[in-house]
């Protein structure tokens, strides 16, 4: 979500004539887009803010802005701690910076906020479809910082993606904190499956992804859309967070372990070859050894393709911080995290090794360390070598090597799309 917000701010600034600078020292404007979902992320932002102090002393005309989830009810405290920061902006609140640019630099900014689409979007681009979240999971700060759920209208989203395809975008990832709750707050009572059908009709678009899903909103209609719409990719990020029902209840997640497992089984029966990712927190208040083993059990049973894992860290302002003791000590949290890491590495290794010898369509996104990379429909990262310019093409890759994190492939069909299209008469 932060990446999408940064892209939008970048498009506003490029509309005003600014271009990207390689480093902060050469910049007229430095914007730090902050994330506070975990303590480690917040610490990183604080460290970078501290390092910007000397830059501001050297060049006092440089505008330093702090944007994102760190800016909230305690902005006054931030102003005191970081007096050299010129402007503080909540998520998606671009106006204070634009106003400062106008007053300090004398630039006419009229109308610059009316079009927020990225000007030079990446082949695979994020499109926020919901802002905020209504769930108030007890450990999470997001609803307090990004506000309540507000869905965008379908027409607005379809128009934006159509324009993005004209600028070269081949794949979109529809974003929401609870993306499968899309539309529930709209008067038109639509839902994510209807949005997916509309986006699926956009001509030049190759692929559609969406994240993050919440188990309680993953409806049969949405599962049908993944199974039946040609552009919707077979990959779902469906956080389960913890294996024990008592912990899930304290987290206010709204489902039990068995309900989660049943949902995954239903998805797998209706969407063959679907890949599943999840989020897990270990060491939540009250998590016993038996509770943790229940988390390990769910990982063993389901065998996710990818797991985003974290040790619980209390976020001031959340329900858990206010009402629960952070009673699992740090050493134990680290131990549990390590066990999850080791188990998941073994599972990912086995899953990826089973793909050796198979062939997949890869949407090529770019180059990294001189090798082309792209992803399968199931979100597997594939590297391959080619002398041709492959960016934006869908190519067939034959997998010959794997690791827990990525695959290596040989490209079988390296013809650019245009040539392939001519040969097939379309």
Distance CA 318, CA 300 (A): 31
Q: Which stretch binds ligand SF4 (CB under 6 A): 131-139, 220-228, 309-317, 324-332?
A: 131-139
Residues with Cβ < 8 Å from 377, sequence gap 6 or more?
A: 207, 233, 234, 235, 360, 361
Name the phi and psi angles at 149, rounded to 5. -65, 130
Site for ligand SF4 in 207-236 (CB under 6 A): 214
Min CB(320)–ligand SF4 separation in Å: 11
Q: Is 177 left (phi over 0), alpha (psi -120 to 50) or beta?
A: alpha
Residue 169 binds ligand SF4 (CB under 6 A): no
Distance CA 421, CA 364 (A): 17
252/420 with CB nearer ligand SF4: 252
Reply yes or no: is the peptide bond before residue 20 cis, omega within 30 of 0: no
Q: Which of 142, 195, 298, 310 touches ligand SF4 by CB under 6 A?
A: 142
Min CB(408)–ligand SF4 separation in Å: 34
Q: Which stretch binds ligand SF4 (CB under 6 A): 90-98, 123-131, 133-141, 339-347?
A: 133-141
Residue 35 binds ligand SF4 (CB under 6 A): no
Specify the DSSP class assigned to residue 123.
S
12/142 with CB nearer ligand SF4: 142
What's the token pair of residue 173? 């990832």
212/352 with CB nearer ligand SF4: 212
Residues with Cβ < 8 Å from 132, sequence gap 6 or more?
A: 142, 143, 146, 147, 148, 149, 150, 177
Residue 133 binds ligand SF4 (CB under 6 A): yes
Residue 177 binds ligand SF4 (CB under 6 A): yes
- Residue carrying structure tokens 């404007």: 29
| HSE-up (13 A, CA, CB side) for residue 19 | 1
> Do β-strands 29-34 and 63-68 pair in parallel, antiparallel, or remain unpaired?
parallel
95/259 with CB nearer ligand SF4: 259
Residue 135 binds ligand SF4 (CB under 6 A): yes
Min CB(56)–ligand SF4 separation in Å: 33
**Measured torsion, CA atoms of residues 93, 97, 103, 109, in degrees rounded to the nearest 10:** -70
Q: Which of 15, 72, 143, 314 touches ligand SF4 by CB under 6 A?
A: 143
Q: Which of 136, 201, 322, 419 touches ligand SF4 by CB under 6 A?
A: 136
- How many residues of this chain bind ligand SF4 (CB under 6 A)? 10
Min CB(136)–ligand SF4 separation in Å: 6
Residues that bind ligand SF4 (CB under 6 A): 133, 135-137, 140, 142-143, 177-178, 214
């Amino acid at each position: 979500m932060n990446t999408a917000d940064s892209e939008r701010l970048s498009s506003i600034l490029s509309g005003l004539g600014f271009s990207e600078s390689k480093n902060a020292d050469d910049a007229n404007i430095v914007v730090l887009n902050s994330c506070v979902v975990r303590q480690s992320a917040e610490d990183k932002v604080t460290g970078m803010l501290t390092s910007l102090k000397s830059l501001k002393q050297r060049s006092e005309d440089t505008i330093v802005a702090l944007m994102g989830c760190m800016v909230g009810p305690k902005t006054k405290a931030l102003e005191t701690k970081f007096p050299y920061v010129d402007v503080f902006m909540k998520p998606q609140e671009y106006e204070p910076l634009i106003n400062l640019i106008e007053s300090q630099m004398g630039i006419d900014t009229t109308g610059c906020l009316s079009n927020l689409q990225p000007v030079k979007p990446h082949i695979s681009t994020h499109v926020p479809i919901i802002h905020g979240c209504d769930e108030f999971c007890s450990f999470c700060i997001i609803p307090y910082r990004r506000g309540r759920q507000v869905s965008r209208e379908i027409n607005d989203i379809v128009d934006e993606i159509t324009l993005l395809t004209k600028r070269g975008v081949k794949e979109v990832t529809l974003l929401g904190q609870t993306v499968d709750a899309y539309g529930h707050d709209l008067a038109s009572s639509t839902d994510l499956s209807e949005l997916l059908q509309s986006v699926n009709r956009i001509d030049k678009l190759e692929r559609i992804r969406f994240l993050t899903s919440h188990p309680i909103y993953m409806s049969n209609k949405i599962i049908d859309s993944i199974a039946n719409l040609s552009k919707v990719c077979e990959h779902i990020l469906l956080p389960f967070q913890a294996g024990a029902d008592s912990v899930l209840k304290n987290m206010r997640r709204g489902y039990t372990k068995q309900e989660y497992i049943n949902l995954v089984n239903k998805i797998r029966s209706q969407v063959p070859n679907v890949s599943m990712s999840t989020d897990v927190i270990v060491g939540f208040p009250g998590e016993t050894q038996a509770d943790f083993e229940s988390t390990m059990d769910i990982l063993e049973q389901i065998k996710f393709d990818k797991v985003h894992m974290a040790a619980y860290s209390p976020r001031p302002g959340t329900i858990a911080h206010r009402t629960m003791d952070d009673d699992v000590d740090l050493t134990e949290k680290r131990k549990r995290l390590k066990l999850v890491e080791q188990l998941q590495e073994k599972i990912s290794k086995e899953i990826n090794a089973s793909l050796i010898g198979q062939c997949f369509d890869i949407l090529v996104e770019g180059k990294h360390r001189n090798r082309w990379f792209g992803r399968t429909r199931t979100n597997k990262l594939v590297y391959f070598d080619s002398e041709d310019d492959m960016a934006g093409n869908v190519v067939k890759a034959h997998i010959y090597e794997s690791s827990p994190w990525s695959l290596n492939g040989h490209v079988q069909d390296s013809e650019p799309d245009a040539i392939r299209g001519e040969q097939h008469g379309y």
